[in-house]
Structure 1
Amino acid sequence: MTMPKEDTNPMRALQGLEHGNSSVRLQTALAVGSAPDPRSVDKLVERCAIEPEFYVREMLTWALTRHSSSMTVPRLIDELRAERTQARSQALHTLSKIGDRRAWPAITRALLTDPDDEVARSAWRAAVVLVPEEEEPGLAGVLAAQLGRGEHETQSSLSRALIALGEAIMPILHAAMTDPDPRVRQHAIATERLWRDPDAGFGFAIEEAKRVVALGATGQEG
């Protein structure tokens, strides 16, 4: 008996990414990542920009990490100029997971200060993964200039990004602790506390920082 030939056309297999059932989209992304094919890269990137379900987007990112970075990184860098905020944020997220430092020049100040908090948070995470050591102080300055930005989740993300840069952030944090803006002071103090005690959690650190600012102290020690 003659067996039917396996369908090797990735475009037909990728049709599942447009299915109305998110479980089908998830399984399709899993299958594509399990059998990487360079012809799938464009469709995976395009779907990242519009996929509404978080867990499916995570699988799309995983599928992209399974492909050669020589194929994925240039395509993801192109996506950083997209108008759609989800396209930019998911491309940044995927670049952080791939970890190819050739993408570093594409992490621009405009992305790091993007008015959309989700894009900015993704840019911060990507930047601290991709930044060359000699450019860490400059990155720390750009990030620290946004202390006080946003609500709890955004501030927590910024603190974690700053802490990932290590000792280089301390002079900048200490300067920010005397900023005229109380939100900046609170955020700087909370970040410094979290740097000293990573297990404390951002929620605890920011509440402690608010008390310090209310009492009119900077919280600096020594």
Structure 2
Amino acid sequence: MVSVNSTDRNAQDLRLFEALSAENSSTRLQAALTVGTHADPGFVDVLVRRCATEPDFFVRDMLTWALTRLPAEITVPRLRAELRTERAQARSQALHTLSKIGDRSAYPAITRALLHDADDEVARSAWRAAVVLVPDGEQKGLATELAAQLGRGDRTVKLSLSRALVALGELIEPDLRTAMAGADPTVSAHARATELLLRDPDIGFDAAVDEAKRIVALGPERIEGPEC
């Protein structure tokens, strides 16, 4: 068997480090795949740093996969630290990676500030990660925190929030009823659409939104009809 000496190993590592920031996205993708395949903890810092700046979605996804291949005791503290950085993509990708690792010890790092982050991508990543990592007994508090943002953003943001709420199950119903009873028609319609999705996940978000808007416009009493 031919052994690989430290000089050869260092040269290989250097080439991988350089390839992770190469101009060609296919080169970066292959480098991330190689790093993940070998699962060398020595690459954790460069992988996390690259997540913060990588412009290509597929390469970012491969970087996340590579990080999930490393021991959680190494990656989770590094990713938690990344949640406090100013760069939005760094926060978003760290949240996404934490959700894929699935270590619930990371849940306290998903702060209220992240759940309400002004950057929609960060907030969406925080919602998804929180739903995956929330410990038993804390789901209700999370549901209330998420429901406070009903009506936020465009279709993509609303859909992400609805999916996060529905993933928490029936315990979201009191918060949805409160939102539906409010004066803001956008919030009310979003809450009703989320309720429809909770009852029938197969209905589809757009159909649920259309039906919710119809109910809000006509008023629930008009939909239900007169009592006998």
**TM bucket by the smaller chain?**
over 0.9
1:131 is matched with which residue: 130, 134, 137? 134
* Cα deviation 1:19-38 (Å, max 9, x = unaligned): 00000000000000000111
Per the alignment, residue 20 of structure 1 pairs with 23
* Partner Cα separation in structure 2 for residue 204 and residue 62 of structure 1: 34
The one-letter code of the counterpart of 2:194 is T
Asked if structure 1 preserves the Cα contact closer than 8 Å seen for 2:95 and 2:125, the reply is yes
Q: What does residue 158 of structure 2 align with?
A: 155
Q: What TM-score, normalized by structure 1, do the two folds share? A: 0.95
> What value does the CA root-mean-square deviation take over the aligned residues?
1.6
> Per-residue deviation at 1:4?
7.4
The answer to whether the Cα contact below 8 Å between 2:170 and 2:198 also exists between their aligned partners in 1 is no
> What code does the residue aligned with 2:130 have?
A
Task: Give the Cα separation in 2 of the matches to 1:8 and 1:204.
Answer: 56
Matched, 1:94 2:65: no
Q: Quick one: percent identity of the two aligned structures?
A: 64
Q: SS of 2:181's equivalent?
A: coil
The answer (yes or no) to whether the contact 1:16–1:25 under 8 Å persists in 2 is yes
1:3 positional shift? 8.6
Shift of 1:12: 3.4
Counterparts of 2:78 and 2:198, CA distance in 1: 35
Q: Distance in 1 between the 2:149 and 2:181 partners?
A: 15
Contact 1:11 1:40 in 2 (8 A): no
Q: Offset of 1:182 from its aligned partner?
A: 0.4
Residues paired across the two proteins, number:
219
TM-score by length of 2: 0.92
Amino acid at match of 2:172: I
CA positional deviation for 1:200: 1.1
Greater Cα radius of gyration, structure 1 or 2: 2
User: Relative to 1, partners in 2 of residues 1:3 and 1:112: Cα closer, same or farther, differing over 3 Å?
Assistant: closer
Q: CA deviation at 1:201?
A: 1.1
**Runs in 1 of length 4+ with deviation above 4 angstroms?**
2-6
Aligned residue among 113, 121, 129 for 1:110: 113
